[in-house]
Amino acid sequence: MSDIQTWTLVFVVITFGIYIYIAYASRVSNTSGFYVAGGGIPASANGAAIAADWMSAASFISMAGIIALAGNGYAGSVYLMGWTGGYVLLALLLAPYLRKFGKYTIPDFVGDRYSESARLVAVVCAIVVSFVYVAGQMAGVGLVFQRFLNVGTTTGVVIGMAIVFFYAVLGGMKGITWTQVAQYSVLIVAYLIPAVAISAELSDIPVPQIGFGQILAELDGLQQDLGIAAYTEAFTQTSMMNMVLITAALMFGTAGLPHVIVRFYTAKSVRAARYSALWALFFISLLYTTAPSIAAFSKLRVIQDLDGTALADVPGWFNTWADVGLITGADGGAVADANGNGVIDFTSEVVINNDIMVLAAPEIGGLPAPIVGLVAAGALAAALSTASGLLLVISSSVANDVYYKRINPGATEARQLLVGRIAMGGAILVAGYLGINPPGFVAQVVALAFGLACASFFPILVLGIFWKKCTAAGATAGMLTGLTVTMAYMIWTVDIWGNSAGIWNIPETGFGTIGMLINFAVTITVSQFTRKPSPLMQELVEEIRFPGRTDLVAKHAHGEELT
């Protein structure tokens, strides 16, 4: 066993032990605890939990690599702005009001505010979006186990499933929330240490957010010498219109994702919901402002180390990753001196996988083995925390929105909790299966989930709060049209149909923005001609705009008949 494997094992065992201990200490016995942690989580802890829930394997492992390699610098900004800007919308437009509304899930809000058929559409959307996401997380867990500990992907996924099963089934939202606080701490420390070290080494400034300014001019020059567009130059790969559309789809999609919105129900109060949003974005921004700096430093180092170097002289990290097939030649085989000039040509002879930029950063920066092990534990924390949050959405949608609200409204507390736990167990099994046998389209579909969330949920949530006269028929029509149009465009642009250029070159990842505008238009138009919400419902919508205790909202939250 190599040094790196030993240290990885040490960190994985320690962190998993902590998660299990926390889960045992915070086990729950009622539905309120299971679904929303009793609504009693302090804002800073809730913020850290939201941050861990939000930052998935994709944010932790892939994002810096996508910015550096696939996005060639500037184009990767869509992820940085898109996945943070959505929180401003959440904080200002949704979080406080949904918290005041005081139910458990998005379908709860949609069903109570609009109608039962709208609730069903919302349940289906929530479950589809969450399953798509969770499959990617489980695959990420398997990947880390395979690369760092040399165990099979299947074994890795099963270990991950067992851990999540233990703390999610036992502790529900309460266990998940406190575990996520621990997972956030692990992942942010694991992300920042290599970044600070590499920044101190390459720029003499130990603050990566400031340090990478020092090397941008050099990196621009290097890339231009290689005949690639400069790192900081705009619109070299993505047009201005598409930058706007993709960024908007990610922003509005973030504000419509069920597993994020549900976290604001766990806040103690309306005020705590506002503070939760602030803490969450603050914690997220620590990683999101660091990612572009890791991207720039690693790109510089990789070009310097590899371009014009003989194959025999490459640094150690190159061989580590070439051995597992994540650094290859242009043809997908081993890296070879294809044009026979005795050295590697960066632009034509090497292909580096996006996913290794962060994982290889400690080695590229020359850091010792324990740090590499810590980064592996951080990647696992990111994947597991997101997976557990998504599984809770699935379980509460099935147990609360379908079983309790539709099938057996007379169910006792204990019975609901049992159904919730069974649903959670079932969801973990399906997620594990998808993680071991990922359908080929998962990677694409994850990006598309944002488009679907933004085209379906965002407009009807915002209109439901800010427009008292928005009708049930309007919302249902809007949600269905937005979803159908967006999905149709995504399917229509799949390569096999030969329409991959789409209409006006709009990428499928950016089309959610168009779907959202259509949803708004349809909802508003149909609402003009259909039966207005009851005066009581209009009064309830009016009430949730104001903080403080009001009888009507309290009655509604307790599930009493409104009269």
Partner 1 sequence: MDEAARREYWRSNLRLMAALLTIWALVSFGAGIVFVEPLNEIVVAGFPLGFWFAQQGSIITFVVLIAIYVWRMDKLDAKHGVDIDGYEEEVHHS
Beta partners for 328? 351
Q: Vertex 83, ends 80 and 85: CA angle to 5°?
A: 90
- Segment near partner 1 (CB under 8 A); pick from 87-95, 303-311, 418-426, 509-517: 87-95
**Which of residues 43 and 428 has its CB atom nearest to partner 1 in the complex?**
43
**Which of residues 21 and 235 has its CB atom nearest to partner 1 in the complex?**
235
Tokens of 325: 């097939």
Residue 216, interface with partner 1 (CB under 8 A)?
Answer: yes
The span from the CA of 475 to the CA of 105, in Å, is 17
- Segment near partner 1 (CB under 8 A); pick from 115-123, 169-177, 262-270, 380-388: 262-270
The span from the CA of 303 to the CA of 345, in Å, is 9
Q: Vertex 542, ends 538 and 544: CA angle to 5°?
A: 120
Question: Residue 410 to residues 295, 406, 407, 521: CA-CA distances in angstroms?
Answer: 55, 10, 9, 39
**Which of residues 50 and 132 has its CB atom nearest to partner 1 in the complex?**
50
Query: What is the Cβ-side half-sphere exposure of residue 168, based on CA atoms within 13 angstroms?
Result: 30
**Which of residues 40 and 502 has its CB atom nearest to partner 1 in the complex?**
40
**DSSP codes, 45-74:** HHHHHHHHHHS-HIIIIIHHHIIIIISTTG
Could you tell me the smallest distance in angstroms from the CB atom of residue 360 to partner 1?
Answer: 21
The span from the CA of 186 to the CA of 11, in Å, is 10
Collapse the DSSP code of 41 into the 3-class scheme (helix H, G, I; strand E, B; otherwise coil) and give the result: strand
Residue 232, interface with partner 1 (CB under 8 A)?
Answer: yes
Contact residue for partner 1 among 227, 316, 440, 548 (CB under 8 A): 548
Backbone angles phi, psi at 410, to 5 degrees: -90, 5
Q: Where are the alpha helices (DSSP H) in 204-269?
A: 208-211, 213-225, 240-254, 258-261
Q: How many residues does the chain have?
A: 563
Collapse the DSSP code of 328 into the 3-class scheme (helix H, G, I; strand E, B; otherwise coil) and give the result: strand
- Segment near partner 1 (CB under 8 A); pick from 51-59, 91-99, 355-363, 456-464: 91-99
**Which of residues 139 and 392 has its CB atom nearest to partner 1 in the complex?**
392
Question: Residue 360 to residues 71, 123, 308, 494: CA-CA distances in angstroms?
Answer: 18, 40, 21, 33
How many residues contact partner 1, by CB under 8 A?
A: 70
Could you tell me the smallest distance in angstroms from the CB atom of residue 172 to partner 1?
Answer: 14
- Segment near partner 1 (CB under 8 A); pick from 13-21, 101-109, 170-178, 253-261: 101-109
Residue 544, interface with partner 1 (CB under 8 A)?
Answer: no
Q: Are 170 and 27 in contact (CB under 8 A)?
A: yes
Q: Which residue has the tokens 């809730």?
A: 46
Could you tell me the smallest distance in angstroms from the CB atom of residue 533 to partner 1?
Answer: 18
**Which of residues 36 and 182 has its CB atom nearest to partner 1 in the complex?**
36
Site residues for partner 1, window 137-196 (CB under 8 A)?
A: none
- Segment near partner 1 (CB under 8 A); pick from 31-39, 254-262, 313-321, 518-526: 31-39
- Segment near partner 1 (CB under 8 A); pick from 239-247, 364-372, 470-478, 527-535: 239-247
Could you tell me the smallest distance in angstroms from the CB atom of residue 320 to partner 1?
Answer: 28
Which chain residues interact with partner 1 by CB under 8 A?
A: 31-32, 36, 38-40, 67, 73-74, 76-77, 80-81, 84-85, 87-88, 91-93, 96, 100, 102-104, 209-210, 212-217, 232-235, 240, 243-244, 247-248, 251, 265, 268-272, 274-275, 277-278, 281-282, 285, 288-289, 292, 400, 404, 545-549, 554, 557-559
